[in-house]
Amino acid sequence: MTGRPTVVVTRRLPSPVEDRLRTLFDARLNTTDAPLDEAALAGAMRDADALVPTVTDRITATLLGTPGRRVRIVSTFGVGFNNIDVAAAREHGVVVTNTPDVLTDDTADLAITLLLMVARRTGEGERLVRAGDWTGWRPTQMLGTRVTGKTLGLIGFGRIGRAVAARASGGFRMRVVWHDPFAGDDAASLGGERRISIEAVLQESDFVSLHCPATPETRHLMNADRLAAMRPGAFLINTARGDVVDETALVRALREGTIAGAGLDVFEREPAVSRELLAMDNVVLLPHLGSATEETRVAMGNRAVDNLAAFFGGSAPRDRVA
């Protein structure tokens, strides 16, 4: 290749990352931050050597098969890559990379934030104060659920699940049980108590937090039956992906009191959120903030840039997933 590789970036990235992209590449940055439509993405596939998408872009088989495609690497800004058809990328010889590790702590922090918020009714309390409706302290006002010493069930015990476990057991003396079919035999050394079935985790847990990737196998993993298998009075936390929970079944479970509440950072049809959830006080709703700190978003961008630099420098990108 002669000259600097052309890199199309689909959304605004933190300035230090955009500066680095400008220095290293012929960077086509998105100054308006408006999502690229299908035609613009197809144009990028034809005109650029690399694409840096985010979770809001669907990189489909059609896009990867764009006639005259020039893009050779899709370096996504994010650890999750369920928005990219990796099988099609492999078929078309397009390399795909992601940005693991750097967002583990912040995402774990947010899972704990949701757990505390929903257990202690803090969203509801804040709404009360802001509405000017607080009439003063009283012994029976807005009683929540204690977190310390309770049982936390984790579905998925990878990097983020383990970071949540460390916070919960170290900070809140919680007992941690988990299920992860991909954890190796040495997983016992990671702490917590392994369970062979998801149902066993659900039956034992006061709080269930989801940390599995979105795949065809995990779609609607938390369906009506699994929600019914949770303890009455238990809470569901989701910082993974919206697809993992059947949102319609969740609404019903919350409405019927099958479970006590939910803390959600991700939704099945983002940015749309079920109207019923918006109206429920026992639900905490956040706008996909898991990795949203200055430090982590810069680190994610740098990791995406590192992957591009390695690829165009002729070495293997560290975070290749296809």
**Nearer to ligand DGY among residue 35 and residue 65 (C-beta):** 35
- The question of whether 241 is a catalytic residue gets the answer yes
Whether the Cβ atoms of residue 117 and residue 235 lie closer than 8 Å to each other: no
**Nearer to ligand DGY among residue 79 and residue 254 (C-beta):** 79
Residue spans of beta strands (DSSP E) within the chain: 6-9, 26-28, 50-52, 73-75, 95-97, 151-155, 175-179, 193-194, 207-210, 235-238, 261-264, 283-285
**Nearer to ligand DGY among residue 78 and residue 153 (C-beta):** 78
The least CB distance from residue 253 to ligand DGY, in Å, is 24
Type of residue found at 110: L
Q: Which of 239, 229, 265, 268 is nearest to 251 (CA)?
A: 268
The least CB distance from residue 78 to ligand DGY, in Å, is 3
Its sign, for the CA torsion 70, 74, 77, 81, is positive
Q: Catalytic residue among 193, 199, 270, 276, which?
A: 270
Cα–chain-centroid distance for residue 175?
24
**Nearer to ligand DGY among residue 195 and residue 297 (C-beta):** 297
Task: Give the helix ranges, DSSP H, for 213-271.
Answer: 224-229, 247-255
Measured distance CA(292)–CA(308) in Å, rounded: 22
Q: Which of 307, 308, 247 is nearest to 49 (CA)?
A: 308
Whether the Cβ atoms of residue 309 and residue 73 lie closer than 8 Å to each other: no
The least CB distance from residue 214 to ligand DGY, in Å, is 9
Q: Which of 112, 108, 160, 106 is nearest to 295 (CA)?
A: 106
Task: Give the DSSP letter of residue 27.
Answer: E
The least CB distance from residue 153 to ligand DGY, in Å, is 21
- The question of whether 288 is a catalytic residue gets the answer yes
Q: Catalytic residue among 69, 241, 297, 303, which?
A: 241
**Nearer to ligand DGY among residue 5 and residue 53 (C-beta):** 53
**Nearer to ligand DGY among residue 104 and residue 274 (C-beta):** 104
The least CB distance from residue 265 to ligand DGY, in Å, is 8
Q: Quick count: other Cβ atoms within 10 Å of Cβ 294?
A: 9
The least CB distance from residue 28 to ligand DGY, in Å, is 21
Measured distance CA(225)–CA(55) in Å, rounded: 29
What is the contact surface with ligand DGY in residues (CB under 6 A)? 55, 78-80, 103, 290-291
Question: So which residues are the catalytic ones?
Answer: 241, 270, 288
